[in-house]
């Protein structure tokens, strides 16, 4: 009885305040893990003058793995405070391995399409990286899975679905995509195109989640996108450069519109065209799927 009254009061609150409250929750849940890791890192490196972050691979790896804290906190908050179920977060227990595997392959394919296009147009040359470290790349492989999954769970699984119970689904998709973009452009060296592309990335991941109903599928797709572009092909993504990549990328053109500049490949016009094509294709082909989409607790 008390729980139903609590939910009713939440639904009666103004929509703007609901959006703002959940935005603050997202910021808090995201910040807690990073603050814990930052404090741990400073304790482990007592000579503060020699600390190099976020450029340090140790710091970056720790930051990725600290995302496990965000995962547990998000599930705890969504269930205990908001009364959401696992299924409403997109955590489907059936065929988990299949969801993860297919999602990862899809993300790998999307990243490969971008690289193959650039190679085909003679815009980039790839060479083997002599300083590659397999053990380090394995750590990044699992680290990106945790980090990407935590972002999808928090922004799509919790934030977007919470908004969609109070405002139209399309509005929830747009707002969550903008929040996703803001989180990434704060890494630095952002441009107008990088902001647009990251919003499109968020929009695309939202559509994938709406279609698949699986945050596992979406999270692993996101992870493969990050890992393939950064750790395999050596691109800078969201102003983050991985040192021990499989390949070294050499652009044959000095045009930031193509290369993405200091922010990385996610600020490239090539990514803009690919994401726009994918989003429009999904909307035109599967529009009815979104019209009947319902989010429940």
Which residue in 110, 86, 94, 117 sits closest to 220, CA to CA? Answer: 110
C-alpha span between 104 and 180 (Å, rounded)? 20
Residue-wise pLDDT tens for the chain (297 aa)?
A: 444 444 444 544 557 887 888 899 999 999 999 899 888 888 887 655 555 555 567 888 999 999 999 999 999 999 999 889 999 999 988 889 999 999 999 999 999 999 999 999 999 999 888 776 777 889 999 999 999 999 999 999 999 999 998 888 889 999 999 999 998 887 778 889 999 999 999 999 999 999 999 999 999 999 999 999 999 998 988 878 887 888 888 898 888 899 998 888 999 999 999 999 999 998 888 765 554 344 444
What pLDDT is attached to residue 239?
A: 79
pTM of the model as a whole: 0.88
What pLDDT is attached to residue 3?
A: 45
What pLDDT is attached to residue 1?
A: 41
Handedness of CA 117, 263, 206, 66 (dihedral sign): positive
Handedness of CA 197, 192, 248, 226 (dihedral sign): negative
| Cα Rg of the chain, angstroms | 20
Contact 228, 112 (CB under 8 A): yes
């Amino acid at each position: 009885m008390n729980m139903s009254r609590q939910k009713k009061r939440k639904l009666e609150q103004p929509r703007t305040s609901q959006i703002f409250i959940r935005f603050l929750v997202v910021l808090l849940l995201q910040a807690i893990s990073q603050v814990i890791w930052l404090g741990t890192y400073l304790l482990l490196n007592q000579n503060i003058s020699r600390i190099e972050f976020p450029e340090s691979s140790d710091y970056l790896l720790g930051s990725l793995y600290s995302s496990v804290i965000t995962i547990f906190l998000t599930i705890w908050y969504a269930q205990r405070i908001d009364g959401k179920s696992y299924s409403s977060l997109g955590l489907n227990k059936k065929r988990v391995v299949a969801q993860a595997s297919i999602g990862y392959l899809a993300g790998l394919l999307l990243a490969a399409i971008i690289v193959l296009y650039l190679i085909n147009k003679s815009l980039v040359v790839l060479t083997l990286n002599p300083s590659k470290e397999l053990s380090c790349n394995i750590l990044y492989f699992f680290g990106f899975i945790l980090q990407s999954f935590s972002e999808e769970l928090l922004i799509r699984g919790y934030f977007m679905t919470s908004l969609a119970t109070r405002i139209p689904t399309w509005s929830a998709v747009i707002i969550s995509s903008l929040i996703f973009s803001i989180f990434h452009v704060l890494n630095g060296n952002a441009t107008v195109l990088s902001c647009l592309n990251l919003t499109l990335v968020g929009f695309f991941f939202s559509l994938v989640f709406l279609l698949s109903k699986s945050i596992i599928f979406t999270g692993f797709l996101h992870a493969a996108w990050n890992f393939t572009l950064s750790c395999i092909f050596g691109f800078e993504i969201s102003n983050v450069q991985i040192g021990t990549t499989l390949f070294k990328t050499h652009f044959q053109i000095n045009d930031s519109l193509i290369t993405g500049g200091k922010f990385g490949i996610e600020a490239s016009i090539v990514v803009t065209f690919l994401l726009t094509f994918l989003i429009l294709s999904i909307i035109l082909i599967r529009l009815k799927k979104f019209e009947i989409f319902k989010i429940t607790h």
